[in-house]
Chain A
Protein backbone atom coordinates (compact mmCIF):
# COMPACT_ATOMS: atom_id res chain seq x y z
CA UNK A 1 0.00 0.00 0.00
CA UNK A 2 2.68 2.48 1.08
CA UNK A 3 4.84 1.45 -1.85
CA UNK A 4 1.86 2.00 -4.16
CA UNK A 5 1.35 5.56 -2.90
CA UNK A 6 5.05 6.15 -3.28
CA UNK A 7 5.20 4.99 -6.93
CA UNK A 8 2.02 6.97 -7.64
CA UNK A 9 3.71 10.05 -6.35
CA UNK A 10 6.83 9.38 -8.38
CA UNK A 11 4.78 8.79 -11.50
CA UNK A 12 3.00 12.10 -10.95
CA UNK A 13 6.28 13.91 -10.46
CA UNK A 14 7.63 12.36 -13.64
CA UNK A 15 4.47 13.36 -15.53
CA UNK A 16 4.76 16.92 -14.23
CA UNK A 17 8.44 17.17 -15.16
CA UNK A 18 7.73 15.69 -18.58
CA UNK A 19 4.92 18.13 -19.37
CA UNK A 20 7.04 21.04 -18.14
CA UNK A 21 9.84 19.79 -20.38
CA UNK A 22 7.41 19.61 -23.27
CA UNK A 23 6.53 23.30 -22.77
CA UNK A 24 10.16 24.34 -22.56
CA UNK A 25 11.00 22.23 -25.60
CA UNK A 26 8.21 23.87 -27.56
CA UNK A 27 9.59 27.32 -26.71
CA UNK A 28 13.16 26.41 -27.62
CA UNK A 29 12.56 24.11 -30.61
CA UNK A 30 12.35 26.82 -33.32
CA UNK A 31 15.55 28.45 -32.08
CA UNK A 32 17.37 25.11 -32.00
CA UNK A 33 16.19 24.22 -35.52
CA UNK A 34 17.43 27.55 -36.91
CA UNK A 35 20.77 27.13 -35.20
CA UNK A 36 21.08 23.59 -36.57
CA UNK A 37 20.31 24.74 -40.12
CA UNK A 38 23.13 27.32 -39.95
CA UNK A 39 25.66 24.46 -40.11
CA UNK A 40 24.13 22.48 -43.01
CA UNK A 41 26.38 21.78 -45.97
CA UNK A 42 23.64 21.88 -48.60
CA UNK A 43 21.73 25.05 -49.29
CA UNK A 44 18.22 23.55 -49.25
CA UNK A 45 16.83 22.88 -45.77
CA UNK A 46 16.15 19.18 -46.42
CA UNK A 47 16.58 16.48 -43.83
CA UNK A 48 18.69 14.69 -42.92
CA UNK A 49 21.59 17.12 -43.66
CA UNK A 50 24.25 15.93 -46.09
CA UNK A 51 27.05 17.23 -43.88
CA UNK A 52 28.15 20.22 -41.92
CA UNK A 53 30.12 23.36 -42.71
CA UNK A 54 30.93 26.80 -41.29
CA UNK A 55 31.05 28.55 -44.66
CA UNK A 56 27.65 30.25 -44.30
CA UNK A 57 28.99 32.35 -41.44
CA UNK A 58 31.77 33.61 -43.69
CA UNK A 59 29.13 34.63 -46.25
CA UNK A 60 27.14 36.76 -43.79
CA UNK A 61 29.23 39.97 -43.87
CA UNK A 62 29.25 39.85 -47.68
CA UNK A 63 25.44 40.02 -47.80
CA UNK A 64 24.75 43.72 -48.18
CA UNK A 65 21.27 43.89 -46.70
CA UNK A 66 22.27 41.92 -43.59
CA UNK A 67 25.46 43.92 -43.09
CA UNK A 68 23.86 47.34 -43.58
CA UNK A 69 20.77 46.23 -41.66
CA UNK A 70 22.93 45.22 -38.73
CA UNK A 71 24.80 48.54 -38.76
CA UNK A 72 21.60 50.58 -38.94
CA UNK A 73 20.00 48.51 -36.16
CA UNK A 74 23.01 48.98 -33.86
CA UNK A 75 23.17 52.69 -34.60
CA UNK A 76 19.45 53.28 -34.03
CA UNK A 77 19.20 51.09 -30.92
CA UNK A 78 22.29 52.55 -29.22
CA UNK A 79 21.21 56.17 -29.74
CA UNK A 80 17.57 55.42 -28.83
CA UNK A 81 18.67 53.59 -25.66
CA UNK A 82 20.80 56.56 -24.52
CA UNK A 83 18.03 59.09 -25.13
CA UNK A 84 15.33 56.81 -23.69
CA UNK A 85 17.27 56.11 -20.48
CA UNK A 86 18.18 59.79 -20.09
CA UNK A 87 14.46 60.63 -20.24
CA UNK A 88 13.39 57.70 -18.08
CA UNK A 89 15.69 58.24 -15.08
CA UNK A 90 14.36 61.70 -14.06
CA UNK A 91 10.81 60.55 -14.82
CA UNK A 92 11.28 57.50 -12.56
CA UNK A 93 12.64 59.72 -9.78
CA UNK A 94 9.54 61.89 -10.02
CA UNK A 95 7.26 58.84 -10.11
CA UNK A 96 8.77 57.19 -7.04
CA UNK A 97 9.96 60.12 -4.91
CA UNK A 98 8.00 63.14 -6.13
CA UNK A 99 4.65 64.36 -4.89
CA UNK A 100 2.73 64.57 -8.13
CA UNK A 101 -0.92 64.80 -8.95
CA UNK A 102 -2.14 62.25 -11.52
CA UNK A 103 0.76 59.89 -10.87
CA UNK A 104 -1.08 56.77 -12.15
CA UNK A 105 -2.06 58.62 -15.32
CA UNK A 106 1.54 59.63 -15.98
CA UNK A 107 2.71 56.09 -15.31
CA UNK A 108 0.11 54.70 -17.75
CA UNK A 109 1.15 57.25 -20.35
CA UNK A 110 4.81 56.26 -20.05
CA UNK A 111 3.86 52.58 -20.43
CA UNK A 112 1.72 53.32 -23.51
CA UNK A 113 4.35 52.35 -26.14
CA UNK A 114 4.47 48.88 -24.56
CA UNK A 115 0.67 48.50 -24.57
CA UNK A 116 -0.19 49.71 -28.07
CA UNK A 117 0.07 46.88 -30.64
CA UNK A 118 3.19 46.94 -32.82
CA UNK A 119 1.47 47.64 -36.14
CA UNK A 120 -0.74 50.35 -34.61
CA UNK A 121 2.34 51.92 -32.98
CA UNK A 122 4.04 51.93 -36.39
CA UNK A 123 1.02 53.38 -38.18
CA UNK A 124 0.53 56.08 -35.54
CA UNK A 125 4.17 57.18 -35.56
CA UNK A 126 4.07 57.14 -39.37
CA UNK A 127 1.11 59.52 -39.30
CA UNK A 128 2.80 61.68 -36.64
CA UNK A 129 5.99 62.02 -38.66
CA UNK A 130 4.04 62.61 -41.86
CA UNK A 131 2.10 65.48 -40.28
CA UNK A 132 5.33 66.89 -38.79
CA UNK A 133 6.87 66.82 -42.25
CA UNK A 134 3.84 68.52 -43.79
CA UNK A 135 3.84 71.23 -41.11
CA UNK A 136 7.57 71.98 -40.98
CA UNK A 137 8.91 70.70 -44.33
CA UNK A 138 11.54 68.84 -42.32
CA UNK A 139 11.89 65.43 -44.03
CA UNK A 140 11.66 63.31 -40.89
CA UNK A 141 9.64 60.43 -42.40
CA UNK A 142 11.97 57.72 -43.69
CA UNK A 143 15.01 59.34 -42.08
CA UNK A 144 17.28 57.74 -39.49
CA UNK A 145 16.23 60.49 -37.06
CA UNK A 146 12.59 59.48 -37.49
CA UNK A 147 13.51 55.86 -36.83
CA UNK A 148 15.51 56.81 -33.71
CA UNK A 149 12.55 58.86 -32.41
CA UNK A 150 10.26 55.84 -32.73
CA UNK A 151 12.77 53.54 -31.03
CA UNK A 152 13.20 56.04 -28.19
CA UNK A 153 9.48 55.61 -27.53
CA UNK A 154 10.00 51.84 -27.43
CA UNK A 155 12.88 52.13 -24.92
CA UNK A 156 11.11 54.51 -22.47
CA UNK A 157 8.61 52.05 -20.88
CA UNK A 158 11.26 49.38 -20.25
CA UNK A 159 13.68 51.86 -18.71
CA UNK A 160 10.96 53.48 -16.55
CA UNK A 161 9.70 50.08 -15.39
CA UNK A 162 13.10 48.78 -14.31
CA UNK A 163 14.43 52.03 -12.84
CA UNK A 164 11.27 52.65 -10.79
CA UNK A 165 11.43 49.04 -9.53
CA UNK A 166 15.01 49.62 -8.46
CA UNK A 167 14.23 53.03 -6.88
CA UNK A 168 11.31 51.75 -4.84
CA UNK A 169 13.60 49.28 -3.05
CA UNK A 170 15.97 52.11 -2.05
CA UNK A 171 15.15 53.57 1.37
CA UNK A 172 14.61 57.35 1.01
CA UNK A 173 16.20 57.81 4.47
CA UNK A 174 19.61 57.30 2.85
CA UNK A 175 19.03 60.20 0.48
CA UNK A 176 17.65 62.38 3.26
CA UNK A 177 20.75 61.67 5.35
CA UNK A 178 22.93 62.92 2.50
CA UNK A 179 20.85 66.08 2.21
CA UNK A 180 21.00 66.68 5.98
CA UNK A 181 24.77 66.42 5.77
CA UNK A 182 24.69 69.33 3.34
CA UNK A 183 24.74 67.60 -0.06
CA UNK A 184 22.92 69.42 -2.86
CA UNK A 185 20.16 67.50 -4.67
CA UNK A 186 22.51 66.92 -7.61
CA UNK A 187 25.35 65.59 -5.43
CA UNK A 188 22.86 63.37 -3.58
CA UNK A 189 21.70 61.98 -6.89
CA UNK A 190 25.22 61.45 -8.28
CA UNK A 191 26.79 60.00 -5.14
CA UNK A 192 23.90 58.20 -3.42
CA UNK A 193 20.92 57.48 -5.66
CA UNK A 194 22.69 56.71 -8.93
CA UNK A 195 25.11 54.08 -7.52
CA UNK A 196 22.22 52.43 -5.68
CA UNK A 197 19.98 52.13 -8.74
CA UNK A 198 22.79 51.11 -11.09
CA UNK A 199 21.52 47.51 -11.48
CA UNK A 200 18.06 48.71 -12.48
CA UNK A 201 19.61 51.26 -14.81
CA UNK A 202 21.78 48.67 -16.56
CA UNK A 203 18.88 46.22 -16.82
CA UNK A 204 16.55 48.93 -18.14
CA UNK A 205 19.10 49.99 -20.74
CA UNK A 206 19.76 46.40 -21.85
CA UNK A 207 16.07 45.47 -22.05
CA UNK A 208 15.35 48.70 -23.91
CA UNK A 209 18.25 48.04 -26.28
CA UNK A 210 17.24 44.46 -26.96
CA UNK A 211 13.57 45.36 -27.57
CA UNK A 212 14.57 48.18 -29.87
CA UNK A 213 17.11 46.00 -31.68
CA UNK A 214 14.52 43.30 -32.29
CA UNK A 215 11.64 45.63 -33.18
CA UNK A 216 10.07 44.76 -36.51
CA UNK A 217 6.54 46.14 -36.84
CA UNK A 218 7.13 49.81 -36.01
CA UNK A 219 10.36 49.95 -38.03
CA UNK A 220 8.61 48.46 -41.08
CA UNK A 221 6.43 51.58 -41.32
CA UNK A 222 9.29 54.03 -40.87
CA UNK A 223 12.33 52.89 -42.86
CA UNK A 224 13.12 54.89 -45.96
CA UNK A 225 13.42 53.40 -49.43
CA UNK A 226 16.38 51.05 -49.68
CA UNK A 227 16.94 51.11 -45.92
CA UNK A 228 16.56 48.07 -43.69
CA UNK A 229 17.15 47.23 -40.07
CA UNK A 230 18.36 43.71 -39.28
CA UNK A 231 14.91 42.29 -38.33
CA UNK A 232 13.42 43.72 -41.55
CA UNK A 233 16.27 42.26 -43.60
CA UNK A 234 15.65 38.85 -41.99
CA UNK A 235 11.87 39.10 -42.61
CA UNK A 236 12.29 40.06 -46.25
CA UNK A 237 14.84 37.31 -46.85
CA UNK A 238 12.60 34.70 -45.19
CA UNK A 239 9.58 35.81 -47.21
CA UNK A 240 11.66 34.85 -50.24
CA UNK A 241 13.42 31.69 -49.03
CA UNK A 242 14.92 29.92 -46.06
CA UNK A 243 18.51 28.73 -46.26
CA UNK A 244 21.61 28.36 -44.05
CA UNK A 245 22.70 31.98 -44.70
CA UNK A 246 19.69 33.49 -42.97
CA UNK A 247 19.99 30.80 -40.29
CA UNK A 248 23.59 31.86 -39.68
CA UNK A 249 22.48 35.49 -39.30
CA UNK A 250 19.78 34.38 -36.87
CA UNK A 251 22.27 32.36 -34.87
CA UNK A 252 24.56 35.38 -34.54
CA UNK A 253 21.60 37.45 -33.33
CA UNK A 254 20.63 34.78 -30.78
CA UNK A 255 24.21 34.74 -29.46
CA UNK A 256 24.32 38.55 -29.13
CA UNK A 257 21.04 38.55 -27.20
CA UNK A 258 22.06 35.61 -25.00
CA UNK A 259 25.25 37.48 -24.03
CA UNK A 260 23.21 40.62 -23.26
CA UNK A 261 20.89 38.55 -21.04
CA UNK A 262 23.82 36.93 -19.20
CA UNK A 263 25.28 40.39 -18.52
CA UNK A 264 21.88 41.63 -17.28
CA UNK A 265 21.63 38.60 -15.02
CA UNK A 266 24.86 39.61 -13.28
CA UNK A 267 23.30 42.93 -12.28
CA UNK A 268 19.72 41.97 -11.51
CA UNK A 269 18.13 38.57 -11.03
CA UNK A 270 15.94 37.96 -14.07
CA UNK A 271 13.14 36.69 -11.86
CA UNK A 272 12.77 40.17 -10.40
CA UNK A 273 12.60 41.84 -13.77
CA UNK A 274 10.14 39.94 -15.90
Chain B
Protein backbone atom coordinates (compact mmCIF):
# COMPACT_ATOMS: atom_id res chain seq x y z
CA UNK B 1 0.00 0.00 0.00
CA UNK B 2 1.27 3.47 -0.74
CA UNK B 3 1.85 5.87 2.09
CA UNK B 4 -0.99 8.13 0.93
CA UNK B 5 -3.42 5.22 0.87
CA UNK B 6 -2.35 4.17 4.36
CA UNK B 7 -2.89 7.67 5.61
CA UNK B 8 -6.33 7.83 4.02
CA UNK B 9 -7.18 4.42 5.51
CA UNK B 10 -6.15 5.49 8.99
CA UNK B 11 -8.10 8.73 8.67
CA UNK B 12 -11.17 6.76 7.62
CA UNK B 13 -10.83 4.48 10.63
CA UNK B 14 -10.56 7.26 13.15
CA UNK B 15 -13.07 9.62 11.52
CA UNK B 16 -16.33 8.14 12.92
CA UNK B 17 -15.26 8.23 16.58
CA UNK B 18 -13.69 11.68 16.37
CA UNK B 19 -16.72 13.05 14.53
CA UNK B 20 -19.04 11.68 17.21
CA UNK B 21 -17.01 13.30 20.00
CA UNK B 22 -16.50 16.56 18.08
CA UNK B 23 -20.19 16.94 17.17
CA UNK B 24 -21.54 15.36 20.35
CA UNK B 25 -19.38 17.16 22.90
CA UNK B 26 -16.86 19.68 21.55
CA UNK B 27 -19.40 21.66 19.54
CA UNK B 28 -21.97 21.59 22.39
CA UNK B 29 -19.27 22.87 24.76
CA UNK B 30 -18.82 25.81 22.40
CA UNK B 31 -22.59 26.33 22.32
CA UNK B 32 -22.69 26.18 26.11
CA UNK B 33 -20.08 28.94 26.26
CA UNK B 34 -22.14 30.97 23.79
CA UNK B 35 -25.19 30.47 26.04
CA UNK B 36 -23.26 31.96 28.95
CA UNK B 37 -23.04 35.24 27.03
CA UNK B 38 -26.80 35.38 26.52
CA UNK B 39 -29.27 37.17 28.73
CA UNK B 40 -31.95 35.56 30.90
CA UNK B 41 -35.23 37.44 31.09
CA UNK B 42 -37.75 35.91 33.55
CA UNK B 43 -40.81 34.79 31.63
CA UNK B 44 -39.01 34.86 28.31
CA UNK B 45 -36.25 32.34 29.07
CA UNK B 46 -33.12 33.04 27.08
CA UNK B 47 -32.67 36.17 25.01
CA UNK B 48 -29.86 36.41 22.46
CA UNK B 49 -27.19 38.84 23.54
CA UNK B 50 -23.43 39.23 23.72
CA UNK B 51 -22.74 40.24 27.28
CA UNK B 52 -20.54 39.26 30.20
CA UNK B 53 -23.13 40.35 32.76
CA UNK B 54 -23.67 36.74 33.93
CA UNK B 55 -20.00 36.49 34.85
CA UNK B 56 -20.16 39.89 36.58
CA UNK B 57 -23.23 38.75 38.49
CA UNK B 58 -21.45 35.59 39.61
CA UNK B 59 -18.38 37.38 40.92
CA UNK B 60 -20.19 40.30 42.56
CA UNK B 61 -22.90 38.34 44.36
CA UNK B 62 -21.52 37.13 47.73
CA UNK B 63 -23.83 34.10 47.60
CA UNK B 64 -22.12 32.71 44.49
CA UNK B 65 -18.57 33.63 45.52
CA UNK B 66 -19.22 31.89 48.85
CA UNK B 67 -20.35 28.77 46.97
CA UNK B 68 -17.20 28.86 44.80
CA UNK B 69 -14.94 29.40 47.82
CA UNK B 70 -16.64 26.59 49.76
CA UNK B 71 -16.19 24.23 46.80
CA UNK B 72 -12.49 25.10 46.43
CA UNK B 73 -11.94 24.75 50.18
CA UNK B 74 -13.63 21.33 50.35
CA UNK B 75 -11.70 20.07 47.31
CA UNK B 76 -8.39 21.26 48.77
CA UNK B 77 -9.00 19.70 52.22
CA UNK B 78 -10.14 16.45 50.60
CA UNK B 79 -6.97 16.36 48.48
CA UNK B 80 -4.68 16.73 51.49
CA UNK B 81 -6.53 14.05 53.51
CA UNK B 82 -6.49 11.70 50.50
CA UNK B 83 -2.74 12.15 50.16
CA UNK B 84 -2.07 11.41 53.83
CA UNK B 85 -4.48 8.46 54.00
CA UNK B 86 -3.67 7.12 50.56
CA UNK B 87 0.11 6.99 50.73
CA UNK B 88 0.49 4.06 53.18
CA UNK B 89 -2.15 2.02 51.36
CA UNK B 90 -0.55 2.76 47.98
CA UNK B 91 2.87 1.83 49.36
CA UNK B 92 1.67 -1.49 50.75
CA UNK B 93 -0.21 -2.27 47.51
CA UNK B 94 2.88 -1.46 45.44
CA UNK B 95 5.32 -3.48 47.55
CA UNK B 96 3.24 -6.46 48.63
CA UNK B 97 4.21 -9.92 47.39
CA UNK B 98 0.91 -11.35 48.59
CA UNK B 99 -1.06 -13.56 46.26
CA UNK B 100 -4.11 -11.59 47.30
CA UNK B 101 -2.68 -8.46 45.71
CA UNK B 102 -5.19 -8.54 42.88
CA UNK B 103 -8.05 -8.98 45.32
CA UNK B 104 -6.80 -6.00 47.36
CA UNK B 105 -6.57 -3.95 44.20
CA UNK B 106 -10.11 -4.94 43.33
CA UNK B 107 -11.30 -3.82 46.75
CA UNK B 108 -9.86 -0.40 45.95
CA UNK B 109 -11.24 -0.27 42.40
CA UNK B 110 -14.72 -1.73 42.96
CA UNK B 111 -16.12 1.24 44.91
CA UNK B 112 -15.14 3.50 42.00
CA UNK B 113 -17.77 1.86 39.87
CA UNK B 114 -20.50 1.68 42.49
CA UNK B 115 -22.24 5.03 41.99
CA UNK B 116 -21.49 7.93 44.31
CA UNK B 117 -25.10 7.93 45.52
CA UNK B 118 -24.71 4.42 46.94
CA UNK B 119 -21.52 5.40 48.74
CA UNK B 120 -23.19 8.51 50.11
CA UNK B 121 -25.94 6.20 51.40
CA UNK B 122 -23.33 4.37 53.45
CA UNK B 123 -22.37 7.58 55.21
CA UNK B 124 -26.04 8.41 55.74
CA UNK B 125 -26.29 5.11 57.65
CA UNK B 126 -23.27 6.13 59.72
CA UNK B 127 -24.13 9.76 60.42
CA UNK B 128 -27.87 9.68 61.21
CA UNK B 129 -29.00 10.78 64.67
CA UNK B 130 -29.49 7.08 65.50
CA UNK B 131 -26.82 5.96 63.05
CA UNK B 132 -23.80 3.74 63.66
CA UNK B 133 -21.55 6.54 64.84
CA UNK B 134 -23.94 8.14 67.33
CA UNK B 135 -25.16 4.76 68.58
CA UNK B 136 -21.61 3.55 69.22
CA UNK B 137 -20.46 6.79 70.83
CA UNK B 138 -23.52 6.85 73.08
CA UNK B 139 -23.12 3.16 73.85
CA UNK B 140 -19.53 3.83 74.92
CA UNK B 141 -20.72 6.74 77.04
CA UNK B 142 -18.59 9.26 75.16
CA UNK B 143 -21.61 11.47 74.44
CA UNK B 144 -25.04 11.62 76.03
CA UNK B 145 -27.01 13.27 73.20
CA UNK B 146 -26.54 12.49 69.50
CA UNK B 147 -24.20 14.85 67.67
CA UNK B 148 -25.31 16.38 64.37
CA UNK B 149 -22.81 15.39 61.72
CA UNK B 150 -25.23 14.86 58.88
CA UNK B 151 -25.73 17.97 56.69
CA UNK B 152 -22.44 19.56 57.77
CA UNK B 153 -19.33 20.45 55.80
CA UNK B 154 -17.36 17.88 57.82
CA UNK B 155 -19.73 15.12 56.71
CA UNK B 156 -19.42 16.22 53.07
CA UNK B 157 -15.61 16.25 53.34
CA UNK B 158 -15.62 12.73 54.81
CA UNK B 159 -17.95 11.54 52.04
CA UNK B 160 -15.94 13.04 49.17
CA UNK B 161 -12.67 11.82 50.69
CA UNK B 162 -13.94 8.24 50.65
CA UNK B 163 -15.11 8.69 47.04
CA UNK B 164 -11.77 10.12 45.84
CA UNK B 165 -9.34 8.04 47.89
CA UNK B 166 -9.17 5.14 45.38
CA UNK B 167 -8.05 7.53 42.62
CA UNK B 168 -5.23 8.84 44.82
CA UNK B 169 -4.20 5.31 45.85
CA UNK B 170 -4.09 4.08 42.25
CA UNK B 171 -2.10 7.12 41.03
CA UNK B 172 0.46 6.73 43.84
CA UNK B 173 0.65 2.96 43.59
CA UNK B 174 1.56 2.95 39.90
CA UNK B 175 4.42 5.39 40.52
CA UNK B 176 5.72 3.70 43.69
CA UNK B 177 5.80 0.38 41.83
CA UNK B 178 8.28 1.94 39.43
CA UNK B 179 10.65 3.06 42.21
CA UNK B 180 13.44 0.54 42.74
CA UNK B 181 13.31 -0.91 46.22
CA UNK B 182 17.10 -0.82 46.50
CA UNK B 183 16.94 3.00 46.62
CA UNK B 184 15.05 2.74 49.91
CA UNK B 185 17.48 0.16 51.24
CA UNK B 186 20.45 2.32 50.26
CA UNK B 187 19.01 5.16 52.33
CA UNK B 188 18.52 2.82 55.30
CA UNK B 189 22.04 1.36 54.95
CA UNK B 190 23.45 4.87 54.97
CA UNK B 191 21.77 5.30 58.33
CA UNK B 192 18.68 7.30 57.40
CA UNK B 193 15.80 6.83 59.84
CA UNK B 194 12.50 5.88 58.14
CA UNK B 195 11.09 9.39 58.40
CA UNK B 196 14.11 10.89 56.64
CA UNK B 197 14.00 8.17 53.97
CA UNK B 198 10.35 9.00 53.36
CA UNK B 199 10.94 12.77 53.10
CA UNK B 200 14.23 12.80 51.21
CA UNK B 201 14.01 9.70 49.03
CA UNK B 202 10.59 8.12 48.60
CA UNK B 203 8.41 11.23 48.47
CA UNK B 204 10.55 13.16 45.93
CA UNK B 205 10.71 10.08 43.71
CA UNK B 206 6.96 9.55 44.05
CA UNK B 207 6.24 13.21 43.25
CA UNK B 208 4.79 12.54 39.78
CA UNK B 209 2.24 10.23 41.42
CA UNK B 210 1.53 12.73 44.18
CA UNK B 211 0.94 15.42 41.59
CA UNK B 212 -1.22 13.25 39.29
CA UNK B 213 -3.25 11.88 42.19
CA UNK B 214 -3.58 15.29 43.81
CA UNK B 215 -4.80 16.95 40.64
CA UNK B 216 -7.26 14.16 39.90
CA UNK B 217 -8.59 14.22 43.47
CA UNK B 218 -8.91 18.00 43.42
CA UNK B 219 -10.78 18.01 40.09
CA UNK B 220 -13.17 15.31 41.31
CA UNK B 221 -13.67 17.18 44.58
CA UNK B 222 -14.52 20.39 42.71
CA UNK B 223 -17.04 18.56 40.53
CA UNK B 224 -18.69 16.40 43.19
CA UNK B 225 -22.45 16.14 42.78
CA UNK B 226 -24.17 13.26 44.58
CA UNK B 227 -22.17 13.52 47.80
CA UNK B 228 -22.91 17.20 48.59
CA UNK B 229 -26.54 16.78 47.49
CA UNK B 230 -27.17 13.76 49.74
CA UNK B 231 -24.82 14.29 52.69
CA UNK B 232 -24.88 18.10 52.61
CA UNK B 233 -28.65 18.29 52.28
CA UNK B 234 -30.79 20.63 50.17
CA UNK B 235 -29.41 23.85 51.68
CA UNK B 236 -25.75 22.94 51.27
CA UNK B 237 -24.57 24.48 47.99
CA UNK B 238 -21.48 23.60 46.00
CA UNK B 239 -20.70 24.30 42.34
CA UNK B 240 -21.83 20.95 40.87
CA UNK B 241 -25.38 21.05 42.27
CA UNK B 242 -25.51 24.79 41.47
CA UNK B 243 -24.98 24.11 37.73
CA UNK B 244 -27.79 21.54 37.75
CA UNK B 245 -30.10 23.75 39.80
CA UNK B 246 -29.68 26.78 37.53
CA UNK B 247 -29.92 24.74 34.36
CA UNK B 248 -32.77 22.32 35.01
CA UNK B 249 -34.67 23.63 38.03
CA UNK B 250 -34.49 27.40 37.34
CA UNK B 251 -34.32 27.00 33.55
CA UNK B 252 -31.75 29.79 33.62
CA UNK B 253 -29.51 28.42 30.88
CA UNK B 254 -27.26 31.48 30.50
CA UNK B 255 -26.41 31.58 34.20
CA UNK B 256 -26.16 27.77 34.46
CA UNK B 257 -23.70 27.85 31.56
CA UNK B 258 -21.78 30.64 33.30
CA UNK B 259 -21.48 28.62 36.51
CA UNK B 260 -20.33 25.60 34.48
CA UNK B 261 -17.55 27.62 32.85
CA UNK B 262 -16.51 29.30 36.09
CA UNK B 263 -16.22 25.80 37.59
CA UNK B 264 -14.11 24.52 34.68
CA UNK B 265 -11.93 27.64 34.61
CA UNK B 266 -11.35 27.64 38.38
CA UNK B 267 -10.39 23.97 38.30
CA UNK B 268 -8.06 24.48 35.34
CA UNK B 269 -6.35 27.55 36.80
CA UNK B 270 -5.82 26.01 40.25
CA UNK B 271 -4.53 22.69 38.93
CA UNK B 272 -2.11 24.37 36.48
CA UNK B 273 -0.88 26.68 39.24
CA UNK B 274 -0.13 23.76 41.57
CA UNK B 275 1.50 21.93 38.68
CA UNK B 276 3.83 24.86 38.00
CA UNK B 277 4.60 25.36 41.70
CA UNK B 278 5.48 21.70 42.26
CA UNK B 279 7.65 21.58 39.13
CA UNK B 280 9.50 24.71 40.19
CA UNK B 281 10.21 23.21 43.61
CA UNK B 282 11.37 19.95 42.08
CA UNK B 283 13.74 21.53 39.56
CA UNK B 284 15.20 24.13 41.83
A119-B106 in contact given A27-B165, A30-B119, A31-B114 (Cβ < 8 Å): no
Whether B247 sits at the interface, judged by CB under 8 Å, is yes
A124-B29 in contact given A22-B85, A98-B6, A274-B109 (Cβ < 8 Å): yes
A91-B13 in contact given A124-B32, A265-B102, A270-B106 (Cβ < 8 Å): yes
Say how far A226's CB is from chain B's closest CB, in angstroms: 15
Classify chain A: how many residues form its interface, as a range: 35 or more
Whether B273 sits at the interface, judged by CB under 8 Å, is no
Nearest B residue to A221 via CB reads B248
Query: Which one of A33, A116, A117 contacts B122 once the chains associate, using CB atoms below 8 Å?
Result: A33
Whether B27 sits at the interface, judged by CB under 8 Å, is yes
Identify the interface centre among A19, A28, A125, A235: most chain B CB within 10 Å of its CB.
A235
* A36 to B131 CA separation, bound complex (whole angstroms): 12
Interface residues of A in 104-162 (CB under 8 A from B): 106, 109-110, 112-113, 116-128, 131, 149-150, 152-153, 156, 160
Whether A67 sits at the interface, judged by CB under 8 Å, is no
Whether B21 sits at the interface, judged by CB under 8 Å, is yes
* A271 to B13 CA separation, bound complex (whole angstroms): 29
A91-B135 in contact given A31-B111, A274-B170 (Cβ < 8 Å): no
Q: Are A121 and B25 in contact (CB under 8 A)?
A: yes
Q: Which residues of B contact A178 (CB under 8 A)?
A: none
Whether A20 sits at the interface, judged by CB under 8 Å, is yes
Q: Are B89 and A24 in contact (CB under 8 A)?
A: yes
- Mask, B10-52, CB within 8 Å of A = 1, is 1101101110111111111101100100000000000000000
Q: Are A100 and B7 in contact (CB under 8 A)?
A: yes
Interface residues of B in 245-276 (CB under 8 A from A): 247-248, 253, 256-257, 260, 263-264, 267
Q: Which residues of B contact A48 (CB under 8 A)?
A: 135
Please give the residue numbers on chain B whose beta carbons come within 8 Å of chain A beta carbons, in ascending order: 3, 6-7, 9-11, 13-14, 16-18, 20-29, 31-32, 35, 85-86, 88-89, 91-93, 101-102, 104-111, 113-126, 128, 130-132, 135-136, 159, 161-162, 165-166, 169-170, 194, 219, 222-223, 225-226, 229-230, 234, 240, 243-244, 247-248, 253, 256-257, 260, 263-264, 267
28 CB contacts below 8 A, A to B, read: A23-B88, A28-B107, A29-B122, A30-B119, A34-B125, A37-B125, A46-B128, A47-B132, A90-B14, A91-B16, A99-B10, A106-B18, A113-B21, A116-B264, A119-B240, A119-B243, A120-B29, A121-B25, A123-B257, A124-B31, A124-B32, A149-B24, A152-B20, A156-B17, A234-B121, A253-B115, A254-B114, A257-B113
Beyond contacts A24-B107, A27-B166: 9 other A-B pairs, Cβ-Cβ < 8 A, are: A19-B85, A26-B165, A48-B135, A128-B28, A160-B17, A235-B226, A238-B230, A242-B128, A274-B105
